[in-house]
Amino acid sequence: MNIILMGPPGGGKGTQAKILEEKYGMVQLSTGDMLRAAIAAGTPVGLEAKTLMDAGKLVPDQVVIGIIAERLDQPDARKGFILDGFPRTTAQAEALDRMLAEKGLKLDGAIEIRVPDEYIVERITGRYTCGKCGAGYHDKFQQPKVAGVCDSCGGTEFKRRDDDNALTVKSRLDAYHAKTAPIIPYYDGKGLLRVVDGTQPIDVVTGQLTGIIDRSSR
């Protein structure tokens, strides 16, 4: 199955994509994670992206389209994929359609994790990840079982994203409403849109998502 997870910054796309990846054996394709890897590696794409990401602005369409086109060609994407954070503009949505057609792939659904803006600052400013394995946590909503120790790998070093601050959140939300939310009707028009209530606890949101996936794969 090939799906898109849509929703605002901090809406829970990455958290849910990781859970679905484990449950269904699909791969999470997060353009944000790919860009952060490019920054860490100091590549030209990373250098171009860093300033924009730190300011909460979108990276140019051609850059992310190129990254996704390459990633979709890797063999594991044939197991099924979860697009997380792509497409984010109409041009990206149209490019994705062209890419999938060329590669003989199709989309099975586009799921919006709907979360109103007033939840987002708390979600984003409380987020942190394990520095060793990348498992995601939240100061209030998703704490490790033993304080200071990663549930997944036992790591004890954690990190926070450079763009996870209250100032940048405003620009990221503005970009979401101006550029990304308008593509939701694009998928509705194709009969692919499903919506889940992202204000519910993490496990409840997962239940809504698995319900949709299980129904559509029958």
**Catalytic-labelled residue, pool 36, 50, 123, 172:** 172
Does 212 bind ligand AP5 (CB under 6 A)? Our answer is: no
Classify 192 as helix, strand or coil: coil
Reply yes or no on whether 36 is catalytic: no
Question: Contact with Mg ion (CB under 5 A): which of 14, 80, 109, 155?
Answer: 14
Nearer to ligand AP5, 14 or 80 (CB): 14
Q: Considering the rule CB under 6 A, would residue 170 count as an interface residue with ligand AP5? A: no
Verify binding: residue 11, Mg ion, rule CB under 5 A.
no
State how far the Cα of 181 lies from the Cα of 49, in Å rounded to an integer.
22
Q: Is 80 in the site for ligand AP5 (CB under 6 A)?
A: no
What's phi and psi for 7, nearest 5 deg? 145, 165
SS3 state at 20: helix
**Under a CB-based contact definition with an 8 Å cutoff, are residues 35 and 49 in contact?**
yes
Angle separating helix axes 44-54 and 61-72, nearest 10 degrees = 130
Farthest-apart Cα atoms in the chain, separation: 48
Alpha-carbon gap, residue 9 to 165, rounded angstroms: 12
* 210 within 8 A of 111, measured Cβ to Cβ: no
Site track for ligand AP5 across 18-57, x = CB under 6 A: -------------xx--x----------------xx--xx
CB of 53 vs Mg ion, minimal distance in Å? 12
| Token pair belonging to 82 | 């979860």
Among 105, 136, 165, 192, binds ligand AP5 (CB under 6 A): 136
Verify whether residue 13 is a known catalytic residue.
Answer: yes
Residue 109 · residue 54 · CB < 8 Å: no
Q: Is residue 210 involved in binding ligand AP5 (CB under 6 A)? A: no
* List of residues contacting ligand AP5 (CB under 6 A): 7, 9-15, 31-32, 35, 52-53, 56-59, 64, 85-86, 88, 92, 123-124, 126-127, 136-138, 141-142, 172, 198, 200-202, 205
Catalytic positions: 13, 88, 127, 161, 172
